[in-house]
Chains A and B, each alone.
Chain A
Amino acid sequence: MAEEKSGAKIGVYICHCGTNIAGKVNVEEVTKWAATQPNVAVAREYKYMCSDPGQDLIKNDIKELGITRAVVAACSPTMHEPTFRKAASDGGLNPYLLQMANIREHCSWVTIDPAAATAKAKRILSAQIHRLPLNESLDPIEVPVNHDVLVVGGGIAGIEAALKLSATGKHVTLVERNPSIGGHMAMFDKTFPTLDCAACILTPKMSALGKDPNITLMAYSEVEYVEGYVGNFTVKIRKKARYVNTDTCTGCGACQEACVVRKVRSEFDQGLGFRSAIYIPFAQAVPLRATIDPTKCLTLSKGKCKQQSCVPACGPGAIDFEQKDEVVEIDVGAIIMATGFELWDATQESRYGYGRLDNVITSLEFERISNASGPTGGEIVCKNGEAPKSVAILHCVGSRDENYQEFCSRVCCMYSLKFSHLIKEHLPETEVYELYIDMRCYGKNYEEFYKRLMDEGVNFIRGRAAEVTDVALSPEEEGHLVVKTEDTLLGIVRRIPADMVILSAGLSPAHDAKEVSQVFGFGCSANGFYLERHPKLEPVATVTDGIFIAGCCQYPKDIPDTVAQAGAAAAGVLGLVDNDTVKVEPTISYIDPEKCSGCHICVGLCPHNAIQYNEEKNAAEVIEAACKGCGVCVSACGSDVPQQRGYLDTQIFAEIEGALAV
């Protein structure tokens, strides 16, 4: 047990991890061997090092034996490095003087031969034993935190998150790109499985948000630029010109009645109804203010509207054609992305005839038809104004399909059932068919809802519709659409005459999800939704500290799960902004300004935008809070200037020597 000049005294702790390690690696042999290695003061083995008694072994050795370094040979650092570092710290040793040697995921779990595993365990351990004398004490870096929060997206997820944060006294800015908050939920008729009216449960929250003194609502606005890092984001927001003075506008709606351009397809009504060029998107809009669509307004798009009838119609005189966009900058400590989804474009599945055949509609279009405040006043009617005698609802449109979206969109089975109920409620004599592959009714009271629909006499056919056609092959089919499908439970092909076909299209990521994620500096998953930090344990955090996601922008989900995620994101944010500072790992890059030649290579290469160029010092400088210790700058620099603390070249070479020494 020779001691090096550094005076290091190493404690070695080898974990059995039950039989996970000890079942393959001869722990006793490795422990005996470890005791003979350079600088090792003590070598111990224990069944479960992560347990309290296990941790106590380290603490006691620090106090009683005065060990100055420690290595725990056990599982992966991603499992318990924080645990053991805390144990070291509690024992009085700087946590960065403790290393882990992974002899489980890297050894016992991936090696078949026990002798080979034991030899490998020794090599892994030796690497750490050799590098430990070169470890230095490091202290976490504390960065101040701004207590304000930005929420992007004003649907139910964003609204819920903002309200939860406001309740704790935090100041929230909520940015929504549409003229009103409410998102898709505001368009729905009833919600499953309770059949609550969507607007009735949503509008109180919208209204509360609009009045909340802690929440600054910026509707009809978009985030243009984000820079900074956890606790310290600077965000540039463009408040688009409504051409209406929002301080004086009362939302009375007289302008939209007076406007001469009356037949603009209403986005809120999915193109089934009309609005004017100056409009309030729906009656319960928050903020309740008019907006002029510059592409449709004759004054703004063509420079000539003779009447400009909106001007005299407006009592407070709020119309302002000269209004300009306004760009504001805010500082926040954390951001919640709640930008929602878009409905999959069913035109792509041309065999269903959407866009070609009358009365083939999408789910959102049906919501507007069924909704009493919609373009048909809540009457379920076909294009010719007559009630359908037969309606077919086709599941999995664009979903579970290698040609389009591979994933299951999760909510469509339930909303299809809801539609069946609404149709049966409005039109008891109408036949309703649901064409499904599987019925996915997984939530609370969902299976019961399915049974209820069976009880209501809906025809369930297990078969994915092959096509929708208007070609009649028999007199019964004349004048109807025909849905051709195999009834797989019976093994026959059926042609179902239908007056209306509803396509249960899947939820897609927003068309600009990728671009938006890049503005903020986090990523998307392969299916295009925002990427969560861990699919099971961290569904609302992203890999970028300080940025959280909630709702359908992460993956399709129903309202209960959306609300839950919004709360989770708010909690995550509070964990950050409720403190004055946030601790950042010190194992980050450091650039010596004396040695840096100012070539700028590392600045552009940093994937976290954590290096800035300091003009005064003529050198690159690491923004400590943003650096994640990825090592790109270290390897890129031609002059070997950036050094990553805890991963110095000398330390890494020592590991290599240690591994080769066995």
Chain B
Amino acid sequence: MRYLYYPGCSAEATGRAYDISTRALMAKLGVELIELDDWNCCGATSYFSVRELDSFAIAARNMAIAQQQGDEDLVAICNACYTTLSKTNRYMNDSDEVFKAVNGALGAVGRSYDGTKRVRHIMDVLVNDVGLESIAGKVTRRLTGIKVAPYYGCQYSRPMGTFDDPEFPTTMDAFFKALGAEVVDYPSKVKCCGGMMMMTKEDAALRMCHELLKTAADKGADVMVAACPLCEMNLEAYQPRVNAAFGTHFKIPVMYFTQLAGLAFGVEPKKLAIDLQIVSCDDVLAAIPA
């Protein structure tokens, strides 16, 4: 199995651990990831706020490069990248105007894109292409007894809803069940973490993260897993600030789901960048049966 791989901007900075652990995990599963050549920022939410066509066009630049680079699907790890690239595909296909404008803009730099490059979320690839049975079969260290709260975040299945349900997605739950973990019933799993608001309106974002952490703690979660660098950052790096603002004492490790998953396949914590975590994961690491 081969995929073109779109790491996303955070993967080089705050989200480094996500990139590192993804590569390690996929290597273990025998999936080849070919990094997209000269990929640019997808634009995320910010570009839409300035000019919609710009956003589609720069996102499409990535897909145009991908079409040149190979026939494989383009996999994104970050929810926002996945949604922005998918949205570009959908709007280009739904609107002649968008299609023409995007190709006009790409034409100005000698590129073109026909709107057909399939964009996949990494969890979609894992659950639907690699397959849960195959994954369960390859597990060497079952996560028995580890209570996992899967945090999907907003842009995992909204608004596209292509590979999982927008209101109650279950792919991440199923994935961790296949790894032997005890998946906690976590109703807040698709609530917003505040995203960029953590920088621009901190009190709102802290309140949202407080609800997410509290529900996870109330349900007895040992660890939360996330699929988006911004979500992970807000829940983990800002956990001390949540505690300060609300008088709580959360110490919940928040990992990228690929980090926790990698452990189940016997990858060393260091190779999964678990040493880069801010909230200590030692308890979880110790709890996983050998």
Q: Judge A-B direct contact (beta carbons within 8 Å).
A: yes
Q: Which residues of A contact B168 (CB under 8 A)?
A: 350, 356
What total count of A-B pairs have CB within 8 Å? 12
Q: Please name all residues of chain B whose beta carbon is closer than 8 Å to the beta carbon of A350 when the two chains form the complex.
A: 165, 167-168
Task: State whether the Cβ of B215 lies closer than 8 Å to any Cβ in chain A.
Answer: yes
> Chain B 23-48, CB within 8 Å of chain A: the 1/0 string?
00000000000000000000000000
The reply on B124 being an interface residue by CB < 8 A is no
Contact A473 B187 (CB under 8 A): no
B186 to A, closest residue via Cβ = A471
| Chain B residues whose CB sits within 8 angstroms of the CB of A473 once the complex forms | 211
Question: How far, in angstroms, from A598 to B260 measured CA to CA in the complex?
Answer: 74
B188: Cβ under 8 A from any A Cβ: yes
Q: Is the CB of B215 within 8 A of A471?
A: yes
Interface size on B, residues (CB 8 A): 7
A471 adjacent to B188 (CB under 8 Å): yes
Residue tally, chain A, CB below 8 Å to B: 7
In the assembly, what is the distance between CA of A67 and CA of B197, in Å? 87
Return chain A residues, CB-CB under 8 Å to B188.
Answer: 471
Once the chains are docked, how many angstroms separate the CA of A464 from the CA of B187?
A: 21
Is A534 on the interface with B (CB-CB < 8 A)?
no
A469 within 8 Å of B by Cβ? yes
Q: Which residues of chain A are within 8 angstroms of B167 by Cβ–Cβ distance?
A: 350-351
Q: Is the CB of B165 within 8 A of A471?
A: no
Task: Report chain A residues within 8 Å CB of B165.
Answer: 350
Distance between Cα atoms of A372 and B215 in the complex (Å): 40
> Scoring A residues 432 to 474 as 1 if CB is less than 8 Å from chain B, else 0, what string do you get?
0000000000000000000000000000000000000111010
B221 to chain A, nearest CB (A): 14
Assembled-state Cα–Cα distance A473/B188 (Å): 12
Give Cα A351–Cα B189 distance, bound, in whole angstroms. 13
- The residue in chain B whose Cβ has the minimal distance to the Cβ of A349 is B167
Q: Which residues of chain B have C-beta atoms less than 8 A from A471's C-beta?
A: 187-188, 211, 215
Interface residues of B in 158-195 (CB under 8 A from A): 165, 167-168, 187-188
Residue interface bits A341-361, CB-to-B below 8 A is 1, else 0: 000000000110000100000
Q: Which residues of B contact A351 (CB under 8 A)?
A: 167
Q: Within A181-221, which residues are at the interface with B (CB < 8 Å)?
A: none
Residue interface mask B76-120, A partner, CB < 8 A = 1: 000000000000000000000000000000000000000000000
Whether the pair B211, A470 counts as a contact (CB closer than 8 A) is no
Which of B187, B188, B215 has the most chain A CB within a 10 Å cutoff?
B187
Flag if B187 contacts A469 (CB, 8 Å): yes
Within B211-226, the residues touching A (CB, 8 Å) are: 211, 215
Instruction: For B187, list chain A residues within 8 Å (CB).
Output: 469-471
Residue of A nearest to B168 (CB): A350
**For the complex, what is the distance from the CA of A533 to the CA of B211, rounded to whole Å?**
55
**Chain A nearest CB, measured from B27 CB (Å):** 36
Q: Which residues from chain B contact A356 at a C-beta distance below 8 Å?
A: 168
Closest to B185 in A: A356
* Apart from A356-B168, A471-B187: 10 A-B pairs, beta carbons within 8 A: A350-B165, A350-B167, A350-B168, A351-B167, A469-B187, A470-B187, A471-B188, A471-B211, A471-B215, A473-B211
Q: Interface on B for A, CB 8 Å cutoff?
A: 165, 167-168, 187-188, 211, 215
Q: Which 10 A/B pairs are nearest by Cβ-Cβ distance?
A: A350-B167, A350-B168, A351-B167, A471-B187, A471-B215, A471-B188, A469-B187, A473-B211, A470-B187, A350-B165
